[in-house]
Every structure is written in C-alpha cells, then in structure tokens.
Amino acid sequence: MKLYINKASPFARKARILAHEAGIADRIEEIDIVVSPVKTNEVLARENPLIKIPALVTDQGETFYDSPVICEYLDTLHQKRKFFPETGPQRFAAMRRQALTDGILDAAVLCRYETAVRPEALRWKDWIEGQKRKVFGGLDVLEAEADSWGDEFGIGQIGVACVLGYLDFRFADWDWRAGHPKLSAWFERASRRPSVAATMPPA
C-alpha cells in the first residue's frame, strides 16, 4: 500500500499511529509530499481530487481518503484488538471522539494556514479567534473525559494524541496544558508509546 503523507500533518499521523499500533506499518510505503492550499500537488491530485493528505492507495489499486476512512480500512487488515469498536454505544462514543478531534485539528490547521500562508495584510484576527475558540472548547470536553479512558487507546485517543502533538508543534504559545492537567498527564503517558514517539512531527 502507498500512503501519501506529510510528516507535519496531524491527519496523516492518525493513520501512521494506527498502522504502527496494529503492526502493519511495514506493509505501507509512506510517500512524503508537500501540500499547500494555494499550490496544487499534481501527484496527489491524481489520487484525491480534494488534494488532501492522507490518501491511501491499496494493493488492489483503490484510493481511500480521508483519515477516518483510511483508519477504518487499516483496522480491517489486522487481527489485534480493533481501534474502531464494531458495534453498540462504544462504537458511537469512539466515532464521536474521532469527530471531535478531527474538528479540533481542522480549526488548528486553518489557523496555521491563516498565520503562515495568508499574506499578513489579509489576515483576520476575529476569524483566528473563532477557530481558536473551537480548539479550546474541544480541549475542555476532552479534559472532562480523560479520566474515563483508562488504558484505552482506540481511534479517539489516537486523535487526541495527534491534536496535542500538533498544538505543541505549531502553537506552543497557546499553552494548552494550562487548564488541562488531566489531558497533560495523559499525553505524557501516551507520548511514551512507540507509535506516538515514532511519528512525532519534525523539529
């Protein structure tokens, strides 16, 4: 399989962590590419018309996107404990947590583009504050849940690790740890997992 990624992308990191945890990372060839909202990557555009990473090309030549679809597909390729519960309330709790962490990442990545890509004269402070409000609203919900996770490391917790890693990577000055002591302690433990350590964004 081929997985189009960028090592800075928290969405690609979800798939990379899951593959590592599932013991199937060696079946995946990572293709590290540059993406930009204002410059089309033609190689990626041939696989994914949305021109977004991650995109997975299976051994059968089918292309899957976006990260929830790729992660759920990868979860069918191994015999370990599933990262997506198959049925019942646990499945919906995990899917809701994935939606929350993906939403936080959407808001954070939009802030990154707004501050790093958009010309300074066109930046809109209130818009950035609106996105930041979503990030911190989501973190508050995760903080309230963190104690209930125990040792669980399913798709929801993979998303949380990607959120917190991305905030450390791009928005260290937002100081997300302040006011989120449970998440902070959880992330310290999660960061020791080989899958999380092996997929750290580049320095």
Restricting to residues 89-128, which ones interact with ligand BEZ according to CB under 6 A?
Answer: 109, 112
**Cβ atoms within 10 A of the Cβ of 190, count?**
21
Residue 19 or residue 108: which is nearer to ligand BEZ going by CB?
108
Restricting to residues 140-179, which ones interact with ligand BEZ according to CB under 6 A?
Answer: 170
Residue 6 or residue 195: which is nearer to ligand BEZ going by CB?
6
Q: Which stretch binds ligand BEZ (CB under 6 A): 5-13, 25-33, 177-185, 192-200?
A: 5-13
- Identified binder of ligand BEZ from the candidate list 1, 3, 4, 6, rule CB under 6 A: 6
Min CB(171)–ligand BEZ separation in Å: 10
CA-wise closest residue to 81 among 13, 155, 184, 190: 155
User: Residue 171: which residues within 8 A CB-CB, separation 6 or more?
Assistant: 108, 111, 112
Query: What mask of x and - would describe binding to ligand BEZ in positions 23 to 42, judged by CB under 6 A?
Result: ------------x-------
Q: Which residues bind ligand BEZ (CB under 6 A)?
A: 6, 8-9, 35, 109, 112, 170
